[in-house]
């Protein structure tokens, strides 16, 4: 059985790792290399490195960031998202050490580029990111333009073409806070044809365990809380008590 994943999200803003609160306000945490080395030592299942505001500022991927971490020799799978606009961007990001990439704004601004990107790097390497509002239930939001969409139908064609390996669903309002994802079970929530990674306000072990038991969910992602306490990741994993996850690990290396 393929294990499910508890992913660690690292948000980087202008070269600094930050706590992100509702895509709107940010508190400083520290330098990316030390955060990533720490997560690597904790043997997290994978790292989702989000370079935020790149698309909003039309900056493209953060190659300075990727260069700075490429020498760290991380053994943890790394997923990068932020500013990817073209196959060349995708290629460059992967050559600098990312194992997979996330495309977000591109899904709205230029979905046809996605096909070119997938041809370059392969479908398995491409994850789509869709923030949605749970306040007005399940309305997808483009965080760059702040435009909301009436439903998820704009994704249908992309999903039907098999261009995405997974979909990262982000509860826009709960990001950085605490959320109730039980409404995932609601009949109003669309059914997707690709596995889901869920992110945004997921802090409760019973909720995470319940979500991981759904066939459609391949991973749950955790962000801010990973920096609050020592071994936050391992202790959360133990509390979840899900047989679908790899066991937690406490390194004996100095």
Partner 1 sequence: MRFCRRCLYPESHPLGLTFNNDGICSGCLVHDEKYTLDWNERLDKLKKIVIPYKSATGNNYDCIIPVSGNVESFFVVHVVKNILKLNPLLVSYNRLYNTSIGIRNFSLLKTIFDCDSLSLNVNPQTVRKITRFTLEKFGNINWHILAGSSVFPVQTSVRLGIPLIIWGAHQGVEQVGMYSHLNEIEMTRRYRRNHDLFGYEADDLLSIFNNLTDSDIWQYRYPTDSQLHSIGVRGIYLSNYIPWDPKSQNEFVISTYGCKGATQKRTFDTYEHSDCFNYLNLHDQFKLFKHGYSRVTDHAVREIRHKRLSRHQAHSLVVHHELQSPENLSMFKSWLNLSDSGLRFILESMQNPLYFNTSDPLDDNFRTCRDIDKSTHNDISFDSTFLPFDSFHRKNYITIGKGWP
Size of the site for partner 1 (CB under 8 A): 31
- Segment (H or E) for 101: strand 100-103
| 13 binding partner 1? (CB under 8 A) | yes
Closest distance of CB 28 from partner 1, Å: 3
Q: Determine how many CB atoms are found less than 10 A away from the CB of residue 131.
A: 21
**Contact range with partner 1 by CB under 8 A, out of 69-77, 118-126, 143-151, 227-235:** 227-235
Residue labelled with tokens 């991973």: 219
Q: Which residue in 31, 64, 157, 241 binds partner 1 (CB under 8 A)?
A: 31
Lookup: tokens for 129: 């990111």
Q: Which residue in 25, 124, 145, 182 binds partner 1 (CB under 8 A)?
A: 25
| 23 binding partner 1? (CB under 8 A) | no
Q: CA 120, 121, 126: angle at the middle one, nearest 5?
A: 125
| 133 binding partner 1? (CB under 8 A) | no
| 41 binding partner 1? (CB under 8 A) | yes
Spatial neighbors of 58 by CB under 8 A, at least 6 apart, are: none
Compute the CA torsion angle 15, 69, 67, 126 (nearest 10 deg): -90
| 215 binding partner 1? (CB under 8 A) | no
- Segment (H or E) for 16: strand 16-21
Q: Which residue in 113, 129, 234, 242 binds partner 1 (CB under 8 A)?
A: 234
Task: Enumerate binding residues for partner 1 (CB under 8 A).
Answer: 13, 16, 18-19, 25-31, 33-35, 37-38, 41-42, 224-225, 227-231, 234, 250-254
């Amino acid at each position: 059985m393929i294990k499910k994943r508890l992913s660690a999200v690292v948000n980087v803003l202008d070269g600094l790792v930050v706590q992100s609160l509702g895509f709107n306000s940010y508190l400083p945490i520290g330098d990316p290399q030390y955060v990533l080395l720490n997560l690597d030592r904790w043997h997290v299942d994978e790292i989702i490195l989000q370079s935020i505001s790149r698309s909003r500022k039309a900056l493209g991927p953060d190659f300075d960031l990727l260069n700075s971490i490429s020498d760290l020799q991380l053994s943890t799978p790394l997923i990068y998202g932020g500013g990817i606009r073209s196959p060349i961007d995708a290629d460059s990001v992967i050559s600098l050490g990312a194992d997979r990439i996330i495309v977000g704004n591109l899904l709205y601004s230029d979905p046809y580029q996605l096909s070119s990107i997938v041809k370059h790097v392969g479908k398995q390497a491409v994850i789509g990111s869709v923030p949605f509002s749970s306040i007005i239930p399940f309305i997808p939001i483009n965080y760059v333009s702040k435009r909301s969409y009436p439903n998820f139908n704009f994704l249908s064609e992309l999903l039907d073409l098999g261009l995405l390996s997974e979909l990262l669903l982000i509860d826009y309002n709960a990001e950085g806070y605490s959320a109730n994802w039980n409404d995932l079970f609601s009949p109003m929530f669309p059914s997707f044809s690709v596995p889901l990674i869920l992110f945004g306000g997921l802090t409760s072990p019973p909720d995470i365990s319940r979500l991981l038991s759904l066939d459609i969910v391949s991973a749950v992602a955790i962000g801010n809380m990973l920096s609050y306490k020592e071994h936050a990741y391992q202790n959360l994993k133990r509390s979840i008590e899900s047989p679908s996850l790899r066991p937690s690990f406490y390194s004996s290396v100095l």
